[in-house]
């Protein structure tokens, strides 16, 4: 498993990619859904 700080950093990275891809490709929904899912999984792991 990943340390909480590394996990949090990964979540931030996914969200950043989501924003960039939204601007670049206008395909926000798919990538943002994935980013949000990763962030939620990360948060759940951190809470435990």
What pLDDT shows up at residue 25?
66
- What pLDDT sits at residue 42? 75
Enter the tokens of residue 19.
């924003």
Range of the domain at 32: 4-47
The rounded distance, in Å, linking the Cα atoms of 9 and 29 is: 21
Lookup result for tokens 């206008």: 26
Q: How far is residue 45 from each of residues 5, 19, 35, 41, measured CA to CA in Å?
A: 12, 24, 15, 6
What's the domain count of the chain?
1
Q: What is the band of 2 on the pLDDT scale with cuts at 50, 70, 90?
A: low
- pLDDT (tens digit per residue) in 4-48: 566 667 777 777 777 777 666 665 566 667 777 777 887 787 766
Angle at 35 between CA 25 and CA 41, to 5 degrees: 170
pLDDT on residue 43: 77
For residue 46, the model assigns a pLDDT of: 74
């Amino acid at each position: 498993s990943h340390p909480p700080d590394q996990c949090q950093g990964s979540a931030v990275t996914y969200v950043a990619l989501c924003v960039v891809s939204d601007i670049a490709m206008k395909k926000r929904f798919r990538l943002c859904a994935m980013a949000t899912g990763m962030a939620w999984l990360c948060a759940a792991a951190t809470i435990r």
